[in-house]
Chain A
């Protein structure tokens, strides 16, 4: 079934079941996203994709709200802009965004200042370097949930990671803070693949950034087959 509704003053059409974000993207309307990823279940946690829907008391996350006939949607109303800008400014006061290039771009676009909240307590964590495959730098984590989701029933069914704490103190963690090799982690790398901020990073990339040379990193052992003398 085809649905017709209004987005940013223009009439747009959608197929039944399409989200407002889908429709916006098809129509060349830019709605920013942070936690959203095509491969994971949308949980609408970041709220950066919120839009104003006429008749709704609060802003609606476009990543999960479905298009409906006669809806009137504004993707850049004053309320929407204030929410997006403030969320970005709060992120900048919370975490290390130095490698979150997409978010830096959004901040420029929305005129969000990284110094908006002076004396804010940052969410800091030491780099966890406990396995041969990847490092975890949770000072850079913005809690998009993707890593937990792909580790669980969105992809791998490994259930190695979950959450520590709650509220502002939330951090991704393992059972009783175990090192990765002591968990059910199979080093599949799915979590590293979906991390948007460099909080999860391949170990080799991390070591190269630390100034190690390839030769230093790879203490090569080609593992020649030991042949028995015949």
Chain B
């Protein structure tokens, strides 16, 4: 190997040195931008400058799928092969590209000009098949566009009033009216208002936002944090991408209000590496907000993940900010008292934060007029798969699944409906029996369906659900962090069985094997990833047990 010139590295990572270990991911990103990958001497220099043990730097590089410790092509093409993209022949596209360039998937040409990789969900499910290309440091999506299009629909436009027409500048957004009102209120009053609104988290876990804020407000500490979880990675979910690209100020204003409510002076906005086009939009919006004086007592730093679904789990996200492998922590203690750097932290999803300025501006009573009594407010659904008009739909809680599908033009090509995957990879399947279920937390729970992050992925009657399950199994096996045994081994065992089921080679007792693995992951895993890794599979086993039958 030729000697690697470390001279350009030093100025690139200089600004991360004062952050110590917490600067590790940003520094590795900066280094990878220069060299295209992370050679040993570069990793060693980053370790030395940031004063992190060599083995730990190695452990971090190894954890994140988008850090490379071997050379990568100058051009990298990634094709999503998860369920929504698979419906649009992502496999065919991948094969075609590989044939064109005479390489295998996951391989790099000998002259290092090109790498082609299949990828987990890229968050462009409505634009399937999703393609993400890097060419000499420049990212594009689809056929060479700078950013994905935003397709925004629905009968109400509360959360999405600034979406669908490119990025909304601060001038277009107007003043932070919610924040201006909030700072005239006592922090406790802001928390009470959020509690009164009935807002619950929109990232998937549906925890009451006001209770979270109250916990962090009441926690005593010299430093508190507000974090926006924009590590959207759930297959089928793309709403945070659209909200941040088209309306970054809503999220920033929501974070500012949260900071006032709990007394935080520092914030992080953690987004996934698969959304690089969002970073300049956010940087620009943050400087507009700073200039307008909204970020005086509270400032926000952007952090970028590196290819790890698990970092959307809140405590894994803290670990990642701290420069570590994204292992979820044991809870309790909870983030409200022991969050990032062990300090009280409020961490909310992008959509949740976008609800905050709305609630404060209009007041909780007015806000509660949207939606139902137990599920107040507007909700974004990410509709993808076999529908005529895939996209992001804003509706009041309480519309039925049938209505959502009708808005989306029904099943594409007038075909029959086979099923709808609710809540993403970690979700469950619905069938035409569920068409009249109201889309609220309480009605869905009663029907045994998770609302999750708002995924509505549609499969028509011609689809082989075994192929869908195989892809979900592969997704979890790829994304398990490996910390706890049930998920580390269970996702692999589940994948192996689902692979053979899809190949028509199910073995005797595979059904019961899948069930034991599924329950073990559900009951005994540390975090939400493992606890839901079998959820879709087990719902399919209930609906279509014949799929798992042994072929003689």
Contacts and interface: CB of A to CB of B under 8 A. Distances in A.
A207 interface: no
Given A44-B330, A91-B489, A143-B482, A175 B55 contact: yes
Interface string A158-171: 01111111111110
Q: How large is the interface on A (under 10, 10 to 19, 20 to 34, 35 or more residues)?
A: 35 or more
A184 B481 CA distance: 26
A186 to B, nearest CB: 13
B524 A50 contact: yes
Interface stretch (B284-292, B448-456, B511-519): B511-519
A146 to B, nearest CB: 14
B54 A184 contact: yes
A93 B485 CA distance: 12
Q: Is the interface of B mostly helix, strand, loop or mixed?
A: helix
Interface string B466-493: 0000000000011111111110111111
A11 interface: no
A167 B486 contact: no
B491 A173 contact: no
Interface residues of B, number: 46
B531 interface: yes
Interface in B520-535: 520, 522-526, 531
Contacts of B283: none
A19 interface: no
Nearest to B58: A175
Contact of B62 (A121, A161, A164): A164
Interface string A34-75: 100000000111111010000000110100100000000000
Contact of A163 (B62, B491, B520): B62
A83 interface: yes
B492 A167 contact: yes
Contacts of A174: 55, 58
Interface in B28-45: 40, 43-44
Contacts of B63: 163, 165-166
A167 B481 contact: yes
Interface of B: 40, 43-44, 53-59, 62-63, 69, 308, 325, 330, 477-486, 488-493, 496, 500, 507, 513, 516-517, 519-520, 522-526, 531
Nearest to A86: B520
Q: For A43, A90, A143, which residue has the most chain B Cβ atoms within 10 angstroms?
A: A90
A120 interface: yes
Contacts of B519: 79, 82-83, 86
12 contacts: A47-B526, A58-B523, A87-B486, A90-B520, A119-B500, A143-B488, A167-B478, A167-B488, A170-B482, A175-B43, A183-B54, A183-B55
A174 B59 CA distance: 8
B480 A167 contact: yes
A61 B530 CA distance: 15
Nearest to B65: A166
Nearest to A145: B483
A79 B54 contact: no
A162 B55 contact: yes
B58 A173 contact: yes
B54 A90 contact: no
A64 B490 CA distance: 22
A165 B524 CA distance: 23
A175 B491 contact: no
Contacts of A83: 486, 519-520, 523-524
B120 to A, nearest CB: 12
Nearest to A168: B492
Nearest to B63: A166
A166 B120 CA distance: 15
A87 B492 CA distance: 12
Given A44-B330, A166-B482, A167-B477, A121 B496 contact: yes
A183 B471 CA distance: 39
Given A64-B330, A90-B517, A159-B56, A176 B524 contact: no
Q: For A58, A79, A93, A166, which residue has the most chain B Cβ atoms within 10 angstroms?
A: A166
